[in-house]
A and B are shown apart, each in its own frame.
Chain A
Amino acid sequence: MIVPSTGLAFSALLRNKMRSALTMLGIIIGVGAVVMMQSMGGGATAYVSEAISGLGSNMLFVIPGTQRGMGQLTTGVPLFTMGDLDAIRHLARDVALVTPAGSRVERVVYGGRNRSSAVGGVGPEYFEIRSWGVTSGRLYTQEDERQGGSVCLIGQTIVDDIFLSRSPLGKDLRVRDKTCRVIGVLESKGAAVGTDQDDTVFMPYSTFTRRLVGSDRTATILAAAVSTDRIDEAKEEMIEILRRRRHIAPGDDDNFSVRDPRDIQAVLQSVMGMLTTLLAGVAAVSLVVGGIGIMNIMLVSVTERTREIGVRLAIGARSRDILTQFLVEATTLSAVGGGIGIVFGLVGAWAVARGLHVPFVIPGISMPVAFAVSVLVGIAFGVWPARKAARLHPLEALRFE
């Protein structure tokens, strides 16, 4: 009975194309949203994981304040001093590399061209921690750092835009009202979500603080453990040293945080978890609304086709044949809607992934789940109209005007 019913259901739905399309809209939106968000979430996770592994798996960073819940930082806590850096450098045995890191946006000028770029002040260790090299020229050295030399490294975007793709080596780049000599061009890192990692200038931290900031206190310390499996020990040592230097009494909370990429991943996972829950709610509401739409249209259809039901009963259809027919029709509506929703969701996610330069991920498990749920919605909301049809009295249905 199911097979002829499906064919029948399709022809019944094709007879009212516009109505069927509008009825399916709720399901299409619900399923489309789920598939799209799952794909985008997967893409974002893949992207961030890749970015984190690019940071180096034994990397640590220290920021003042502690995170309270989601993204809320304590304010009014002191920054770190160069003394803190030296203490970590000399006393923490499991910390291999450590550097202060500062950043601000400045106007950079060469020739007649200028742009606003991120200017970073970091020690030479920074490039070792991030395993970041140059494509031409050289990185700066501890000697440059000690002397506060007016040297800088620039990203490919600056080469292309300010130097019009000609070699910038040995040229003097103006950063705000100071100049620095370009000694190297950094390897291209590509664009991240919203930011171009190649639109950047790096100079020694001492140069940065003396010439651009005026204070050598830093809000970020970047460090690398001697190896990935010593990361927890390195963390402990840094916490102990910083607590002592910041005069935190035993039992009091830290007024700084030491984080590693696993923490970022954990935060990311909790954000993704929340998004997924939120999305499941939106999808559930949309599917229920879609289901009610299907129920409504099926009730209308049962009324419109009362005579047809009467004829079918008269020529030998049993109640359960009529029930099956309308149930299959409702389910066909929701299943086709679910299928269209999956396609729309994938296309939407693909477009967004392309636009934001993040990987496009096909959300494996959520597609069959979304499809199965839309089929279930069709059955659940189709039962009542179908029962109404199946319970019609043959004679009354035949005489219905």
Chain B
Amino acid sequence: MGSSTSDTLSRGRDPALLSLRGVTKVYGQGGAAVRALDGVDLDIGTGEFVAITGASGSGKSTTMSIIGCLDVPTGGEYRIEGLPVQDLSSDVLAALRNTRFGFVFQQFNLLARTSALENVAMPLVYAGVGSRERSVRAREALAAVGLAGREQARTNELSGGEQQRVAIARAIVNQPEIVLADEPTGNLDSRMGEEIMQLLLALNRDRGITVIMVTHDAHCAAHAQHQVVFRDGRIVDNARGVDPS
């Protein structure tokens, strides 16, 4: 899936899937301005499993938001397959978030008092998929995260680990190339955290989904082949391990 889109979009030289060049992000204005990112250069290739680590306020979450098109850089350039993101309208950004990215949050961010199935099917509503197909695809996604049979369970009836699985099902239901996970194990105990890690690794390994994960946990980060470390809005370490493929 990733390779087919890069075939159609690549012009001459094959660009990286995601590419940040000299990206800065400034919040606020004048004396109160905070420079969250200060010249970040980063390339992420198709099929990578990337762990982004760093202290609180080091810029890792801001980077994640820019990659996920939830926010745009103040300066510098961010391209998805060579396409500059800062020139795109908010509707196109919404479409990118809908089709190319899946989000997994630390707080799960499921809709309260709503069934697992409805939560998972939600991105498909915005993709314009009909209700019957939404249901079929949401069931498949729930089955893929090991929650077959729990479709009608409401959010408040699920354990934390189950909620995060529902969130992962929601992230992959529209078959994105990239899953962005912001502290996915931060609210879980170590056993459930490990299950979620294995699930993300399996998505990367079996489906070729590019996974970018922000984490505090060195043990989690150790699973990734591509390690990025932030400090004070800059990347201080950017190491690629051995690519298993």
Q: Which residues on A are within 8 Å of B, measured CB to CB?
A: 4, 11, 15, 307-308, 310-321, 393-395, 398
**Do the beta carbons of B123 and A308 come within 8 Å of each other?**
no
In the complex, what residues of A have CB within 8 A of residue B126's CB?
312, 315-318, 321
In the complex, what residues of B have CB within 8 A of residue A310's CB?
109
**Do the beta carbons of A316 and B94 come within 8 Å of each other?**
yes
Question: In chain B, residues 166-211, which have Cβ atoms closer than 8 Å to a Cβ of chain A?
Answer: 170, 174
Q: List 24 A-B contacts (CB under 8 A).
A: A4-B131, A307-B109, A310-B109, A311-B105, A311-B109, A311-B111, A313-B70, A314-B68, A314-B70, A314-B97, A314-B103, A314-B109, A315-B97, A315-B103, A315-B122, A315-B170, A316-B95, A316-B98, A316-B126, A317-B126, A319-B94, A320-B91, A394-B97, A398-B70
Q: Is B46 engaged at the interface, CB distance under 8 Å to the other chain?
A: no
Question: In chain B, residues 80-139, which have Cβ atoms closer than 8 Å to a Cβ of chain A?
Answer: 90-91, 94-95, 97-99, 102-103, 105, 109, 111, 113-114, 122-123, 125-127, 131
> Bound state CA distance, A394 and B64, in angstroms?
13
The residue in A312, A316, A398 that gathers the most chain B C-beta atoms within 10 A of its C-beta is A316
In the complex, what residues of B have CB within 8 A of residue A315's CB?
97-98, 102-103, 122-123, 126, 170
**Do the beta carbons of B125 and A394 come within 8 Å of each other?**
no
If over half of A's interface residues share one DSSP class (helix, strand or loop), that class is named, otherwise mixed; here it is helix
In the complex, what residues of B have CB within 8 A of residue A393's CB?
71
Nearest CB of chain A from residue B67's CB, rounded to whole Å: 12
In the complex, what residues of B have CB within 8 A of residue A307's CB?
109
> Bound state CA distance, A314 and B111, in angstroms?
13
**Do the beta carbons of B65 and A395 come within 8 Å of each other?**
yes
Nearest CB of chain A from residue B154's CB, rounded to whole Å: 12
**Do the beta carbons of A318 and B70 come within 8 Å of each other?**
no
- Further pairs besides A316-B123, A319-B91: 5, Cβ < 8 Å: A4-B125, A313-B97, A315-B123, A315-B170, A395-B71
In the complex, what residues of A have CB within 8 A of residue B97's CB?
313-316, 394
In the complex, what residues of A have CB within 8 A of residue B113's CB?
15
> Interface residues of B toward A: which range?
20 to 34
In the complex, what residues of A have CB within 8 A of residue B123's CB?
315-316
Nearest CB of chain A from residue B176's CB, rounded to whole Å: 10
The residue in B102, B114, B126, B174 that gathers the most chain A C-beta atoms within 10 A of its C-beta is B126
Total A-B residue contacts, Cβ distance less than 8 Å:
60
In the complex, what residues of A have CB within 8 A of residue B125's CB?
4
Nearest CB of chain B from residue A322's CB, rounded to whole Å: 10
> Bound state CA distance, A393 and B103, in angstroms?
16
**Do the beta carbons of B94 and A317 come within 8 Å of each other?**
yes
> Bound state CA distance, A311 and B125, in angstroms?
13
> Bound state CA distance, A395 and B122, in angstroms?
19
- Which residue of chain A has its CB nearest to the CB of B111? A308
**Do the beta carbons of B70 and A394 come within 8 Å of each other?**
yes
In the complex, what residues of B have CB within 8 A of residue A320's CB?
91
Nearest CB of chain A from residue B239's CB, rounded to whole Å: 28
**Do the beta carbons of A318 and B71 come within 8 Å of each other?**
no
Which 10 A-B pairs rank lowest in CB-CB distance, beginning with the nearest? A316-B98, A316-B126, A318-B94, A315-B123, A395-B70, A394-B70, A311-B109, A395-B71, A314-B103, A317-B126
> Bound state CA distance, A156 and B223, in angstroms?
101
In the complex, what residues of B have CB within 8 A of residue A313's CB?
70, 94, 97
> Bound state CA distance, A398 and B125, in angstroms?
19
> Bound state CA distance, A15 and B91, in angstroms?
30
> Bound state CA distance, A183 and B227, in angstroms?
116
> Bound state CA distance, A321 and B97, in angstroms?
14
- Which residue of chain A has its CB nearest to the CB of B98? A316
- Which residue of chain B has its CB nearest to the CB of A11? B114
- Which residue of chain A has its CB nearest to the CB of B128? A1
> Bound state CA distance, A336 and B113, in angstroms?
23
**Do the beta carbons of A398 and B99 come within 8 Å of each other?**
no
Q: Which of A11, A308, A314, A318 contacts B91 (CB 8 A)?
A: A318
**Do the beta carbons of B94 and A398 come within 8 Å of each other?**
no
> Bound state CA distance, A319 and B90, in angstroms?
8
In the complex, what residues of A have CB within 8 A of residue B103's CB?
314-315
- Which residue of chain B has its CB nearest to the CB of A318? B94
The residue in A307, A308, A315, A319 that gathers the most chain B C-beta atoms within 10 A of its C-beta is A315
- Which residue of chain A has its CB nearest to the CB of B122? A315
> Bound state CA distance, A307 and B112, in angstroms?
11
Nearest CB of chain A from residue B228's CB, rounded to whole Å: 20
- Which residue of chain B has its CB nearest to the CB of A316? B98
**Do the beta carbons of A316 and B70 come within 8 Å of each other?**
no
> Bound state CA distance, A313 and B98, in angstroms?
9
In the complex, what residues of A have CB within 8 A of residue B98's CB?
315-317
- Which residue of chain A has its CB nearest to the CB of B119? A311
The residue in B71, B109, B114 that gathers the most chain A C-beta atoms within 10 A of its C-beta is B109
Given contacts A395-B65, A398-B105, A398-B109, contact A318 B122 (CB under 8 A): no
Nearest CB of chain B from residue A394's CB, rounded to whole Å: 5
Nearest CB of chain B from residue A316's CB, rounded to whole Å: 2
Can you list, as one digit per residue, whether each of B141-177 has a CB less than 8 Å from chain A (1) or not (0)?
0000000000000000000000000000010001000
> Bound state CA distance, A11 and B126, in angstroms?
18
> Bound state CA distance, A311 and B123, in angstroms?
10
Nearest CB of chain B from residue A306's CB, rounded to whole Å: 12
Given contacts A318-B91, A395-B70, contact A312 B105 (CB under 8 A): no
